[in-house]
Amino acid sequence: MRGMALVQAHCARREGRLKEHGQILLAHGGGGRMSRSLIEAEIAPRFGKGPLKGFPDAASLPDPDGPLVFTTDSFVVQPLEFPGGDIGKLAVHGTVNDICVCGGKPLWLSVGLILEEGLNISLLRRILDSLAAAADECGVTVVTGDTKVVARGQCDGLYINTSGIGRALPGFSLGPEMIRPGDAVLASGPLGDHGMAVLCAREAVLSGTGPMSDTGPVHRLVAAAADMAGAVRFMRDPTRGGVAAVVNEAVHGTPCGVALDEQNIPVSPATRSAAELLGLDILHVASEGRILLFCAPEACDPILTAWKAIPEGRNACRMGTVTADAGSVLLNTLAGGRRLVDMPQGELLPRIC
Amino acid sequence: MRGMALVQAHCARREGRLKEHGQILLAHGGGGRMSRSLIEAEIAPRFGKGPLKGFPDAASLPDPDGPLVFTTDSFVVQPLEFPGGDIGKLAVHGTVNDICVCGGKPLWLSVGLILEEGLNISLLRRILDSLAAAADECGVTVVTGDTKVVARGQCDGLYINTSGIGRALPGFSLGPEMIRPGDAVLASGPLGDHGMAVLCAREAVLSGTGPMSDTGPVHRLVAAAADMAGAVRFMRDPTRGGVAAVVNEAVHGTPCGVALDEQNIPVSPATRSAAELLGLDILHVASEGRILLFCAPEACDPILTAWKAIPEGRNACRMGTVTADAGSVLLNTLAGGRRLVDMPQGELLPRIC
Tens of pLDDT along A80-113?
A: 999 999 999 999 999 999 999 999 999 999 999 9
> Closest approach of chain B CAs to the CA of A24, in angstroms?
5
* Interchain CB contact of B136 with A (< 8 Å): no
Q: pLDDT value at position B48?
A: 76
Non-local CB neighbours of B40 within 8 Å, separated by 6+ positions: none
CB A130 within 8 A of CB B46: no
On average, the pLDDT of chain B sits at 91
Q: How far are the Cα atoms of A110, B13, B106, B110, B273 from residue B58, in angstroms, in the given order? A: 10, 35, 11, 15, 34
Q: DSSP secondary structure string, B110-167?
A: EEEEEEETT-BHHHHHHHHHHHHHHHHHHT-EEEEEEEEEE-TTSBSSEEEEEEEEEE
pLDDT at B3: 45
What is the percentage of chain B residues whose pLDDT exceeds 70? Answer: 91
pLDDT at A343: 87
A225, pLDDT greater than 60: yes
Q: What's the CA gap between B31 and B246, in Å, rounded?
A: 9
- A242 in Cβ contact with A285 (< 8 Å): yes
How confident is the model at residue B53, as a pLDDT?
59
Rounded Cα–Cα distance for residues B233 and B230 (Å): 8
- Does residue A228 have a pLDDT over 70? yes
**Please, which pLDDT band fits residue A187 given cuts at 50, 70 and 90?**
very high
Gyration radius (Cα) of chain A, Å: 20
Neighbours of B276 (CB within 10 A): 11
Question: Is B113 in the A-facing interface, judged by CB distances under 8 Å?
Answer: yes
Q: Is B152 exposed, middle or buried (0-12, 13-18, 19+ CB in 10 A)?
A: exposed
Tell me whether residues A142 and B347 touch, CB distance under 8 A.
Answer: no
The enclosing H or E element of B184 equals: strand B184-187
Are the beta carbons of B343 and B248 closer than 8 angstroms?
yes
The confidence score (pLDDT) of residue A206 equals 78
Average pLDDT over chain A, rounded to whole?
91
Q: Where in chain A is the domain with CATH 3.30.1330.10?
A: 23-51+64-168
pLDDT digits (tens, 9 = 90+) for B317-339: 999 999 999 999 999 999 999 99
* pLDDT classification of B9: cutoffs 50, 70, 90: low
Which residues 6+ apart lie within 8 Å of A151 measured at CB?
Answer: A116, A117, B26, B350, B351
Comparing CA positions, the residue from A301, A300, A305, A172 lying closest to residue A233 is A172
Whole-number Å distance between alpha carbons of A312 and A217: 9
Residues 6+ positions from A251 with CB-CB distance below 8 Å: A176, A179, A257, A258, A322, A326, A327, A328, A329
A88's torsion region: left (phi>0), alpha (psi -120 to 50) or beta?
A: alpha
B124 touches A: beta carbon within 8 Å:
yes
Confidence at residue B16, expressed as pLDDT on a 0 to 100 scale: 60
| Res A57 pLDDT > 70 | yes
pLDDT higher at A184 or A206: A184
Nearest to B106 by CA among B177, B42, B162: B162
Q: What is the pLDDT of residue A17?
A: 57
Confidence of residue A10 (pLDDT cuts 50, 70, 90): low
The per-residue DSSP string of A55-104 comes to --SSEEE--TTS-EEEEEEEE--SSSEETTEEHHHHHHHHHHHHHHHTTE
CATH superfamily of B23-51+64-168: PurM-like, N-terminal domain (3.30.1330.10)
Which pLDDT does position A114 carry in this prediction? 97
Confidence band for A184, pLDDT divided at 50, 70 and 90: very high
**CATH 3.90.650.10, chain A: domain bounds:** 176-340
| Residue A314 to residue A316: CA distance in whole angstroms | 6
**Cα–Cα distance measured from residue A171 to residue A228, given in angstroms and rounded to the nearest whole number:** 9
Q: Of A346, A158, A45, A93, which is closest to residue B114 (Cα–Cα)?
A: A158
Q: Measuring CA to CA, which residue among B108, B190, B185, B97 is closest to residue B141?
A: B108
Question: Quick one: which of B322, B222, B315, B224 has its CA closest to B271?
Answer: B315
Interface test with B, best of A7, A107, A117 (most B CBs within 10 A): A117
Chain B residues near residue A146 by CB distance under 8 angstroms: 72-74
Supply the pLDDT for residue B349.
Answer: 74
Task: Label residue A2 by pLDDT band (50, 70, 90).
Answer: very low
ipTM of the complex: 0.92
Mean pLDDT of B240-263: 95
Burial of A309 from C-beta contacts in 10 A (0-12 / 13-18 / 19+): exposed
- CB-based contact (8 Å) between B133 and chain A? no
Instruction: Identify the residue with better confidence: A276 or B14.
Output: A276
> Interior CA angle at B290 toward B283 and B52, to 5°?
90
- Are A82 and A193 within 8 A, CB to CB? no
Separation CA A278–CA A284 (nearest Å): 13
**b vs e for A250-281, b when ≥16 Cβ sit within 10 Å of the residue's Cβ?**
bbeeeebbbbbbbeebbbbebbebbbeebebb
Give B 237-256 residues with CB within 8 A of chain A.
none
Q: Vertex B22, ends B21 and B24: CA angle to 5°?
A: 115
Q: Hey, are the CB atoms on B154 and A18 less than 8 Å from each other? A: no
Distances (CA, A) of B5 to A10, B9, B10: 48, 6, 9
Amino acid sitting at position B318: R
Sign of the alpha-carbon torsion through B66, B72, B78, B81 = positive
What are A165's strand-pairing partners?
A: A70, A108
Look at residue B74 in the predicted model and tell me its pLDDT: 97
Residue B284 has pLDDT above 90, yes or no: yes
Quote the DSSP letter at residue B344.
Answer: P
* Distance, CA of B281 to CA of A327 (rounded, Å): 62
Distance from CA of B255 to the nearest CA of A (A): 26
Burial zone of B178 (CB within 10 Å; 0-12 exposed, 13-18 middle, 19+ buried)? middle
Q: Which helix (H) or strand (E) covers residue B329, if one does? A: strand B329-332
What pLDDT is attached to residue A29? 86
Give pLDDT tens digits for B159-195. 999 999 999 999 999 999 999 999 999 999 999 999 9
Instruction: Answer yes or no: do B26 and A151 touch at CB < 8 A.
Output: yes
Closest residue by Cα to residue B111 from B100, B130, B169: B130
Residue type at B149?
A: V
Q: Please, which pLDDT band fits residue A11 given cuts at 50, 70 and 90?
A: low
Which residues make Cβ contacts (< 8 Å) with residue A132, sequence separation at least 6?
A88, A142, B46, B47
Interface test with A, best of B117, B119, B240 (most A CBs within 10 A): B117
Query: Could you tell me if B74 lies within 8 Å of chain A, comparing CB atoms?
Result: yes
The yes/no answer on whether domain B176-340 falls in CATH 3.90.650.10 is yes
Is the pLDDT confidence value at B17 over 60?
A: no
Across residues B33-41, what is the average pLDDT?
87
Amino acid identity for residue A141 in this structure: T
- What is the rounded CA–CA span in Å between residue A121 and residue A84? 21
The whole-number average pLDDT for the span B280-288 is 95
Give the integer Cα–Cα distance in Å for B113 and B148: 6
> Closest partner residue to A115 among B24, B49, B347, by Cβ?
B24
**Residue in A22, A112, A347 closest to B120 by CB:** A22
